[in-house]
Amino acid sequence: MLAVRRFLAADVPMLWALNALPNIGETADPSVPVPLQPAAVPPAGFPDLGDIEASFVALGGDFLVAALDGHVVGMGGFRPGPDARADILRVRVHPATRRRGIGRALMTELERRAVRASLRSAFLDTATNQPEAMAFYQGLGYREVGRESQPDWTWTLVYYLKELVP
């Protein structure tokens, strides 16, 4: 059974472990064990995951987990951005559980909570080396609003926006 809920402090080591799983490549990889080993330290390069409460909830946003049969298999958060916009970040779905509606359930609840927080649009990004993620967000009604490249990147960052309906 799938449950999408606000993260708990006890979830944090599992969220760090989920963040460390590959997010590039095959859409679903059933060979990755679902019960994750908790990580002992926050992931380098993701300081917001080091203090989720301060980085999301205290700013007026939220951070959610998707749990399948008691195992954390998805996560994502939002915080208010400019112009009553929800900036959606750290969306991840465990590779062994992709293509089962977990990402859709997670995004639906993030958007619902953003509307409840009086935010009118949702903004997120992904990259061209994640074509499955690009197709996923487009399928949810997100439209591309820009791209960014850097000389040392092997991919291009793609920005998406969606108007939220109360």
Q: Where are the chain's structural domains?
A: 2-163
Specify whether the backbone of 150 is left (phi greater than 0), alpha (psi in -120 to 50) or beta: beta
* Cross-strand bridge partners of residue 57: none
Answer whether residue 47 shows pLDDT above 90.
yes
Sign of CA pseudo-dihedral 19, 56, 125, 121: positive
Fold of 2-163: Aminopeptidase (3.40.630)
Whole-model pTM?
Answer: 0.94
- Mean pLDDT across 91-100: 92
Retrieve residue 14's tokens: 């599992």
Answer whether residue 107 shows pLDDT above 70.
yes
> 96 and 123 in contact (C-beta within 8 Å)?
no
- Measured in whole angstroms, the distance separating CA 99 from the mean position of its chain's CA atoms is 15
